[in-house]
Amino acid sequence: PPFKKVEALPALCALGEPEVMAAGGMGGTLYKYEGRSVAACVAAHNGPITALKYLPGAENEAGGGLARLFSGSMDGTVKVWDSWDLAAVATLDLMALEQSLGREVLSLDVGGRGTKVLVATSAAEVWELSPLRGEVDPDAAPEDGAPPEPTPPGKSLHPNGPLFNGHFAKGSEGGACVKGFACSPVAAEFATGGADGTLRIYDTLTKQCTKLNRLSTAAPVTALAYAPDGAFLAAGVGGGVDVLDPAQIEGERVARLPDSAEQAAAMPPVELVRFSPDGSILLVLDERRGLSVYSCAAWARKFPTIDTAILGIPDGEGTAKMSGKVIDVEVSEDSMWILMATDKFEVLFVSCETGEPPANGWSDVKTSGARFPTLGPGPSRFAFEKQTSHPAWLGPGDLTSAGANPAAGLQCVGDKHGGLHLYNFPAAQPTQGMVWRAHTPPTTGCGFVSGDASNLVSLGGSDLTVLQWRIEADEAPDESKEPEEGEQEGGDGDGEEDAGPVLQDPE
């Protein structure tokens, strides 16, 4: 046929014979070429054709041994064609998949001798769908002795949703796509939040996403925190915070802070959320260093937002203005004081009741008997930087996340270079640890799941990857066995002691 204009062809596929191929156009036209000539063309889709797959007749047992051509498009459909004359055979409509967050087809494949179609979508979902004839569900109960019906074309072969799913939207201005991350203190799960506005909970035993809720279509999920008893999960969404029940994040929100959507839209994006050790207070730090303090009993603000950028450090003789910006906040164990740490290693305290600094700074806090996990020392970035001797190439302010398991004596730290560090906990003296290159920079989250010291999870904000690590201790040497030739007693012959944990490859 005559061509009025040039059409880009983003998809190309050989059709099993010499010099015979199919091509898909940006306008949705499907072409069949024989040599340099167009043998057939058809208006196949209402959007660009992004994927083509040819299935030879010998491999299409489910389709009666007939050769077929599969095409996928940005219009959300996969169509099946007779590869000989491009006659339409069937349509697999992804728009019927209610659980999908993005149905544009980016890639496809056919497997199981023609019994299933694998489709990847723009929402980072991978679906297994039934093709033309479908396959019989082996678990289906026959009615009146009749054989079960085959799965209709385009139906998901997995009732719980896609075979795989993940975060899919890009961060603003080239930033991290996934910033929210938190490990459950009571269950074998962790939560992630991304620029796609979704909150996802993953089971560390099955390695599957078990719960998903799109909290917003316009704002990213930037921060997450579990309550100490695991009863609540706080999620920073745009300028507000959604408080949810981790057991059913798809249900109604426990609270929305602030309760007005207009107020939340006018506030700067949330950067950090954190519960107090007893779960009675929720701290919210925004992108402009404003700190909001909420009571978890009524989910009400205790006092107006604190502008940490104008706070100073009382020293008994006056007030010295902070030179750094607040990067970490924490509540004392008695929920009386809030600790703020800056990227310049400065510390400021304010009252949980009034939001005002003590007159004499740390002296007043110490006299009150308050204790902070970070000054224990604890898992925060501030405590780690002050008490640990990390590699020389890791500068101040390079740390992005931290977690600790006090019972196991371990703490983990992520850095902006994609590294994952493992250290002893607590570190009364500066201590050298171990570091692994874990992610494409940065490593935006890390922590121990439900207090399990052998179950460490790390998150790459740019590579959209969660790695689950298993920590194993070195075996103690058999003292009853004489050392072999060249081996030092109590070691392996390299002059160093065998001690400490070993980080195994991620699962």
Label residue 487 by pLDDT band (50, 70, 90): very low
Label residue 315 by pLDDT band (50, 70, 90): low
Confidence check: pLDDT of 160 > 90: no
Label residue 34 by pLDDT band (50, 70, 90): very high
Q: Establish whether the linkage from the previous residue to 373 is cis, with ω within 30° of 0.
A: no
Label residue 472 by pLDDT band (50, 70, 90): confident
Q: What distances in angstroms separate CA 454 from CA 3, 69, 378, 420, 426, one per listed residue?
A: 64, 48, 19, 15, 17
Residues 6+ apart with CB under 8 A from 75: 28, 45, 46, 47, 104
Lowest mean pLDDT among 54-68, 294-308, 444-458: 444-458
- CA nearest to 438, candidates 412, 406, 473: 412
Cβ burial, residue 109 (10 Å; 0-12/13-18/19+): middle
Q: What is the pLDDT of residue 497?
A: 40
Residues 6+ apart with CB under 8 A from 137: 148, 151
Q: What is the pLDDT of residue 374?
A: 57
How far, in Å, CA of 474 to CA of 478, rounded? 12
Confidence check: pLDDT of 172 > 80: no
Q: What is the pLDDT of residue 141?
A: 55
Q: What is the pLDDT of residue 316?
A: 56
How far, in Å, CA of 328 to CA of 364, rounded? 21
Q: Looking up tokens 């910033």, which residue turns up?
A: 179
Determine the residue type at 420. Answer: L
Residues 6+ apart with CB under 8 A from 77: 45, 91, 92, 93, 94, 95, 105
Tokens (6 digits) for 435? 């570091």
| Average pLDDT for 306-324 | 73
Q: What is the pLDDT of residue 161?
A: 86
Q: What is the pLDDT of residue 375?
A: 46
Higher pLDDT residue, 260 or 472?
260
- CA nearest to 46, candidates 108, 93, 109, 3: 93
Tokens (6 digits) for 111? 């497997």
| Percent of the chain surpassing pLDDT 70 | 78
How far, in Å, CA of 442 to CA of 457, rounded? 15
Tokens (6 digits) for 326? 């607040």
Label residue 477 by pLDDT band (50, 70, 90): very low
Confidence check: pLDDT of 140 > 70: no
How far, in Å, CA of 170 to CA of 447, rounded? 24
Confidence check: pLDDT of 77 > 90: yes
- Reduced to 3 states, what is the DSSP secondary structure of residue 365? helix
How far, in Å, CA of 187 to CA of 448, rounded? 11
How far, in Å, CA of 194 to CA of 200, rounded? 9
Lowest mean pLDDT among 146-155, 274-283, 431-440, 453-462: 146-155
| Average pLDDT for 301-315 | 83
Q: Phi and psi of 57, rounded to 5°?
A: -60, -35
* Residue-wise pLDDT tens digits, 376-420: 433 445 444 544 545 556 665 687 888 888 777 888 888 888 999
* Residue-wise pLDDT tens digits, 421-434: 888 876 655 566 78
Lowest mean pLDDT among 86-95, 194-203, 390-399: 390-399
Lowest mean pLDDT among 3-12, 83-92, 243-252, 323-332: 3-12
Q: What's the mean pLDDT when you consider all of the chain?
A: 82
How far, in Å, CA of 78 to CA of 339, rounded? 56
Q: What is the pLDDT of residue 422?
A: 86
| Percent of the chain surpassing pLDDT 90 | 45
pTM: 0.82
Q: What is the pLDDT of residue 134?
A: 45
Determine the residue type at 196. Answer: D
How far, in Å, CA of 9 to CA of 38, rounded? 13
Lowest mean pLDDT among 8-17, 124-133, 296-305: 124-133
| Average pLDDT for 227-233 | 96
Beta strands in 326-389 (DSSP E): 326-331, 337-342, 347-351
How far, in Å, CA of 390 to CA of 381, rounded? 12
Confidence check: pLDDT of 216 > 60: yes
Lowest mean pLDDT among 23-27, 161-165, 236-240, 284-288: 161-165
Higher pLDDT residue, 135 or 247?
247
Q: What is the pLDDT of residue 343?
A: 77
Lowest mean pLDDT among 69-78, 137-146, 155-164: 137-146
* Residue-wise pLDDT tens digits, 260-281: 888 888 899 999 999 999 999 9
Q: What distances in angstroms separate CA 357 from CA 45, 317, 324, 364, one per listed residue?
A: 65, 14, 17, 10
Helix (H) or strand (E) holding 364: helix 362-367
| Average pLDDT for 112-117 | 88
Q: What is the pLDDT of residue 489?
A: 40
Confidence check: pLDDT of 4 > 50: yes
Q: What is the pLDDT of residue 492?
A: 43
DSSP string, 457-503: EEEETTTTEEEEEEEEEPPPP-TTSPPPTTPPTTB-SSSSB--SEEE
Higher pLDDT residue, 215 or 206?
215
